[in-house]
């Protein structure tokens, strides 16, 4: 009998733990990641020979990061690890690939998608000025290259990354000019009981906030009317506090983002059914607590099917791998499956509270001026989207795409899609759910034509 081929996409916490469980059961998975080294977003590794030590890069998460990195070493030759390989399409039971040796394809019997998340962008005046980065982009510069995005940096947005990245920058010696949260302080207090479900994680969050306060950064909650100003480059961040008082923070770089969104395109191309999550305000591939999708032999783990954080991603990766083994007819440890299920339920309470404490600030969509660029790839403005949505009868996002080209550029809507959905819903006074989502299209990321690999 031939061995079943199990492919795992993503070598972050979810994919690594999934691969580990498969290896332990005697299955040799193929593990794809477009990154050169394992770790995913949170445990991203610097290149060989980098000057910063693990403790400086990962802080409290050092041991977890080292454990995830160590999984690959422990699996040795029992995993077929393919770094630097983009999975750019799923067609039934085949993956289309672009790796170090060029284009290729891989058949599979089981597929675990552990594709993670990226940040949610909400355009604001000046967001395309040189010097404006996402919070994650700022973090990647620091984690992988040990460089700062500027000399004096203002951080703005929402989500737990905001205090964390500010803290990481300050610790690395950068000058942090301000940490400005668009969500309210009262939301955090209201959802404190739910956050107590994970006391250690809550304590870390409080510690980052306290250390930022102790460093006396300008800080505020419920900020709005954000604007990056400068001629050829960021010179200041302007905002209003909750009393509508205007402030100007001189800086030469801004880190800004508004939470995370799941990377769902491969699940879409695999034919998975999607459901709307009102809390995350996004359409997500349906997944059972055991990690099964609506498509047999396709499994989902980690942030790629709903934001859960790194600890949840590890648990989900393990659980999805057990489901693969169960469906392949292998005996699995039912006690382990039960334990993982219990832990995931406990984590779910915490995640819901965290999402409520940092709700996506959709009210800021009304502050986006008509002349503001929403799609950087195609130069499409908010005004063009609003006009098309009202004058040309676009009740749904794919119709808006056909009319305006939003989501047709290099990013395939990964950057602009959610903002466009919010704008469309607002312009039509409709519910965000009713405007739908951009359909996934291959290639999920830009690839060179004619097989010419640089």
Ligand X SMILES: Cc1cc2nc3c(=O)[nH]c(=O)nc-3n(C[C@H](O)[C@H](O)[C@H](O)COP(=O)(O)OP(=O)(O)OC[C@H]3O[C@@H](n4cnc5c(N)ncnc54)[C@H](O)[C@@H]3O)c2cc1C
Q: Using CB under 6 A as the criterion, which residues of the chain lie in contact with ligand X when the complex forms?
A: 9-15, 32-35, 40-42, 86-87, 114-119, 136, 139, 161, 164, 260, 263, 266, 302-304, 309-310, 313, 444
Angstrom distance (rounded) from CA 18 to CA 12: 10
Cβ closest to ligand X, residue 98 vs residue 154: 98
C-alpha distances in Å from residue 149, one per residue of 141, 159, 169, 208, 240? 7, 20, 9, 20, 24
Q: Is 321 helix (H, G, I), strand (E, B) or coil?
A: helix
Q: Kindly state the smallest distance separating residue 420's Cβ from ligand X, in Å.
A: 20
Looking at the Cβ atoms of 4 and 15, the one nearer to ligand X is 15
Give the nearest distance from C-beta 229 to ligand X in angstroms: 25
Smallest Cα–Cα separation from 238: which of 183, 180, 184? 180
Residue placing its CB nearer to ligand X in the complex, 19 or 237: 19
**Beta-carbon-side half-sphere exposure of residue 431 (alpha carbons within 13 Å):** 5
Q: Residue 281 Cβ, how far from ligand X at the closest point, in Å?
A: 17
Q: What are phi and psi of 346, to 5 degrees?
A: -60, -40
* 162 vs 384, beta carbon nearer ligand X: 162
Tokens 């500027």 sit at which residue? 150
- The CA radius of gyration of the chain, in Å to the nearest whole number, is 22
In the bound state with ligand X, the residue whose beta carbon lies nearer, of 259 and 407, is 259
Given the complex with ligand X, which of 57 and 382 has the nearer CB atom? 57
In this complex, which beta carbon is closest to ligand X, that of residue 72 or of residue 114? Answer: 114
Closest CB to ligand X among 11 and 226?
11
The nearest distance, CB 414 to ligand X, in angstroms, is 10
- Nearest distance from residue 122's CB to ligand X, in Å? 15
Output the DSSP codes for 106-165. Answer: EE-SEEEE---EEE-----TTTTSTTEE-HHHHHHIIIII---S-SEEEEEEESTHHHHH
For the beta sheet containing 94-99, the strands, ordered from the edge strand earlier in sequence to the opposite edge, are 86-91, 94-99, 102-107
- Tokens 């591939």 correspond to what residue? 285
For residue 304, the minimal CB distance to ligand X (Å) is 6
Spatial contact of 95 and 9, defined as CB atoms under 8 Å apart:
yes
Interatomic CA distance for residues 72 and 39, integer angstroms: 10
Q: Residue 354 Cβ, how far from ligand X at the closest point, in Å? A: 11
Q: Structure tokens of 362?
A: 């959709």
Quickly count: other Cβ atoms within 10 Å of residue 7's Cβ: 24
Nearer to ligand X, 9 or 380 (CB): 9
Which H/E stretch holds residue 1?
Answer: none
Q: Is the bond preceding 40 in cis, omega lying within 30 degrees of 0?
A: no
Residue 224: name the closest of 131, 156, 138 by CA.
156
Please state the closest distance from residue 191 (CB atom) to ligand X, in A.
Answer: 18
């Amino acid at each position: 009998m031939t061995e079943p081929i199990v492919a795992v996409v993503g070598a972050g916490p979810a994919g690594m733990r999934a691969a580990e469980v498969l290896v332990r059961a005697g299955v040799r998975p193929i593990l794809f990641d477009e990154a050169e080294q394992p770790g995913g977003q949170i445990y991203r590794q610097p290149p060989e020979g980098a000057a910063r030590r693990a403790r400086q890069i990962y802080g409290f998460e050092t041991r977890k990061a080292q454990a995830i990195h160590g999984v690959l070493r422990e699996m040795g030759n029992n995993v077929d690890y393919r770094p630097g390989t983009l999975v750019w399409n799923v067609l039934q039971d085949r993956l289309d690939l672009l790796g170090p040796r060029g284009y290729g394809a891989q058949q599979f019997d089981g597929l675990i998608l552990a594709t993670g998340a990226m940040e949610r962008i909400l355009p604001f005046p000046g967001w395309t000025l040189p010097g404006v980065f996402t919070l994650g982009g700022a973090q990647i510069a620091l984690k992988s290259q040990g460089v700062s995005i500027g000399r004096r940096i203002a951080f703005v947005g929402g989500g737990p990354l905001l205090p964390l990245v500010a803290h990481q920058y300050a610790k690395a010696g950068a000058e942090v000019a301000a940490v400005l949260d668009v969500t309210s302080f009262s939301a955090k207090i209201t959802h404190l009981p739910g956050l107590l479900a994970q006391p250690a994680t809550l304590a870390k969050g409080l510690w980052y906030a306290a250390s930022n306060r102790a460093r006396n950064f300008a800080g505020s909650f419920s900020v709005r009317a954000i604007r990056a100003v400068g001629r050829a480059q960021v010179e200041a961040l302007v905002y209003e506090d909750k009393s509508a008082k205007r402030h100007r923070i001189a800086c030469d770089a801004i880190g800004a983002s508004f939470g995370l969104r799941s990377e769902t395109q491969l699940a879409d191309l695999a034919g998975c059914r999607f459901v709307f999550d009102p809390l995350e305000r996004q359409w997500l591939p349906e997944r059972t607590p055991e990690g099964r999708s609506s498509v047999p032999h396709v499994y989902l783990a980690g942030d790629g099917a709903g934001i859960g954080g790194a600890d949840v991603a590890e648990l989900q990766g393990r659980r999805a791998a057990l489901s693969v083994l169960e469906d392949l007819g292998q005996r699995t440890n039912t006690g382990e499956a039960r334990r993982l299920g219990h832990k995931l339920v406990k984590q779910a309470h915490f995640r819901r509270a965290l999402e409520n404490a940092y709700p996506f600030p959709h009210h800021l969509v009304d502050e986006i001026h008509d002349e503001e660029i929403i799609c950087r790839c195609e130069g499409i403005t908010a005004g063009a989207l609003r006009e098309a949505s009202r004058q040309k009868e676009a009740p749904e996002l794919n119709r808006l795409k056909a009319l305006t080209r939003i989501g047709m550029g290099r990013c395939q809507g990964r950057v602009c899609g959610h903002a466009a959905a919010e704008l469309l819903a607002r312009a039509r006074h409709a519910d965000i759910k009713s405007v739908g989502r951009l359909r996934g299209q291959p290639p999920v990321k830009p690839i060179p034509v004619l097989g010419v690999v640089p």
